[in-house]
């Protein structure tokens, strides 16, 4: 597929010339006549590279760059300024805001193409490195998952064998206890399989935006009571007593209830798994707009609350 480039330029002649030249060289071009329009198009149809003039009415290039770098969906898109300003102070200002390169007007077609290809290659290398890191994590997760599978299956098979071999000698309470342990092991196995399924889904997305795209839509609410209910569920699944303290504000979040459930389960599960029985888990949640920052800490202090 051709590379998608967004050209933001208020000079109609320059804008049309750039669009025509780059289209002839195999790029897919989208144009915007001002900064405000450019921001809208970049958010609606994320480009693979942005060429942007600096001096524009209402919303200038610096403001466009600030919005781009502040939005997670397009924050890493290569951004090249087109400008007639050659003052080092102006160039430094753009670089400080996160611009990748500058082209001073007038520029040659060869210089333009070279600059574009250079930035696209650098972005491709960044994505490749990120993909490699994701693959490494995936392999690590696979080895951990194998251990999780075997642990859960060992519990299921072991208790089933006891029930089959010694059923006549077991009391009703013992049978119920074993069945409950089989259920706990089954829940543990299901969680591991669900995590692998999530990783497979994320692999289908652009690795640089996978997590954001997956977790940046929907609506849900969080509260101390909700976190408390997940602590109870995790304690049951891991079959252990959990000592904890909650300090979580209520907040409206910009992600779906399904993804909130997943995030809470994973965070709390890991906090419980990697804490000892003598430690208390302290969960703090601070609201920030449509997000919340959760901090899960472990302490060896006297227990305050347990389940």
- Max mean pLDDT range (23-37, 127-141, 247-261): 23-37
pLDDT band of 67, cuts 50, 70, 90: very high
CB 148 within 8 A of CB 81: no
pLDDT for the residue 36: 93
Q: Greater confidence, 196 or 282?
A: 282
| Dihedral sign for Cα atoms in the order 233, 235, 236, 237 | positive
Q: Greater confidence, 192 or 9?
A: 9
The domain 217-299: what is its CATH number?
Answer: 3.30.565.10
On the question of pLDDT at 205 being above 70, the answer is no
Structure tokens at 74: 């397009």
Q: What is the mean pLDDT of residues 252-271?
A: 81
**Whose structure tokens read 């990783």?**
199
| CA separation for the pair 277, 72 (Å, rounded) | 39
| CA separation for the pair 31, 15 (Å, rounded) | 7
Kindly list the distances between the CA atom of residue 191 and the CA atoms of 16, 104, 141, in Å, as whole numbers in the listed order.
54, 55, 13
Give CATH superfamily name and number for 4-107: Response regulator (3.40.50.2300)
> Range(s) for CATH 3.40.50.2300 in the chain?
4-107
On the question of pLDDT at 212 being above 70, the answer is no
Strand segments, DSSP code E, in 101-248 are 101-104, 220-222, 243-248
Which of 28, 35, 26, 25 has the alpha carbon at shortest distance from 5?
A: 28
Please tell me whether residue 244 adopts helix, strand or coil conformation.
strand
Structure tokens at 130: 């990120």
Kindly list the distances between the CA atom of residue 246 and the CA atoms of 13, 228, 236, 260, in Å, as whole numbers in the listed order.
61, 8, 18, 17
> Range(s) for CATH 1.10.287 in the chain?
128-213
Which of 74, 30, 44 has the alpha carbon at shortest distance from 206?
A: 74
| CA separation for the pair 282, 265 (Å, rounded) | 15
Which class in CATH covers the domain with range 128-213? mainly alpha
pTM over 0.75: no
> Range(s) for CATH 3.30.565.10 in the chain?
217-299
pLDDT for the residue 141: 65
Q: Helices (H) and strands (E) in the chain — how many of each?
A: 9, 10
DSSP string, 77-114: S-EEEEES---HHHHHHHHHTT--EEEESS--HHHHHH
Q: pLDDT tens across 129-155, in order?
A: 877 877 777 677 666 667 777 888 888
pLDDT band of 301, cuts 50, 70, 90: very low
pLDDT band of 304, cuts 50, 70, 90: very low
| Dihedral sign for Cα atoms in the order 111, 113, 116, 120 | negative
pLDDT for the residue 215: 60
pLDDT band of 213, cuts 50, 70, 90: low
Q: pLDDT tens across 220-250, in order?
A: 888 888 888 888 888 877 777 888 888 888 8
Structure tokens at 29: 């071009």
């Amino acid at each position: 597929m051709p590379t998608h480039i967004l050209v933001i330029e208020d000079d109609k002649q320059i804008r049309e010339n750039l669009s025509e030249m780059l289209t002839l060289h195999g790029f897919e071009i989208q144009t915007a006549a001002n900064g405000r329009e450019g921001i809208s198009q970049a958010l609606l149809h994320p480009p693979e590279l942005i060429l942007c003039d600096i001096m524009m009415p209402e919303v200038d290039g610096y403001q466009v760059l600030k919005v781009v770098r502040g939005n997670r969906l397009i924050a890493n898109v290569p951004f090249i300024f087109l400008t007639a300003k050659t003052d080092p102070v102006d160039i430094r200002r753009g670089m400080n805001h996160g611009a990748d390169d500058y082209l001073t007007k007038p520029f040659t077609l060869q210089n333009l193409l070279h600059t574009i290809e250079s930035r696209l290659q650098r972005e491709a290398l960044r994505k490749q490195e990120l993909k490699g890191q994701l693959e490494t994590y995936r392999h690590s997760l696979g080895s951990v998952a194998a251990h999780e599978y075997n642990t859960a299956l060992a519990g299921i098979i072991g208790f089933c064998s006891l029930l089959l071999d010694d059923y006549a000698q077991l009391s009703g309470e013992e049978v119920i206890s074993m069945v409950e342990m089989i259920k706990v092991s089954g829940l543990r196995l299901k969680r591991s399989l669900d995590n692998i399924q999530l990783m497979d889904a994320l692999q289908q997305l652009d690795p640089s935006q996978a997590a954001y795209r997956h977790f940046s839509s929907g609506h849900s609410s969080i509260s101390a009571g909700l976190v408390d209910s997940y602590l109870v569920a995790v304690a049951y699944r891991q079959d252990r007593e959990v000592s904890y303290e909650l300090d979580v504000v209520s907040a409206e979040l910009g992600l779906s209830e399904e993804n909130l459930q997943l995030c809470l389960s994973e965070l709390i599960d890991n906090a419980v798994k990697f804490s000892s029985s003598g430690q208390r888990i302290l969960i703090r949640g601070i609201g920030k707009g449509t997000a919340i920052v959760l901090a899960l800490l472990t302490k060896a202090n006297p227990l305050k609350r347990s389940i």
